[in-house]
Structure 1
Amino acid sequence: TELLRNRLGFEGFVVSDWQDVLNLHTREKVAESRKEAVRMAVMAGIDMSMVPLDFS
């Protein structure tokens, strides 16, 4: 969110698309686990994951 928040001044709420945090692991294969996918999303600045079906 460097661009979105800092450069463009966005002050809103950032929400993932449908299950895209999970898809970082299952479809895109850029996260080694679901936990890693969540870590990546949080570090990227996401505020909420839309439809998180598996959480702890």
Structure 2
Amino acid sequence: MAVVDQAKANFILSTLKNIEYGSVIITVHDGHITQIDKTEKTRFESKRVTAKNQK
């Protein structure tokens, strides 16, 4: 098991703390973190018009 660099660990933790919806993908090659991808989603409330709201 490889030792994780403190800077990489801090980056991953910071990314996780600052994401509300989405994913964090950590790519590992030969036991070393080579890439970190963050996909963040923004959600908006939908305002549906229903028969009850139209009256």
Given the two structures, how large is their TM-score scaled by the length of structure 2? 0.30
More helix per residue: 1
Which of the two has greater strand per residue? 2
TM (norm. structure 1) is 0.29
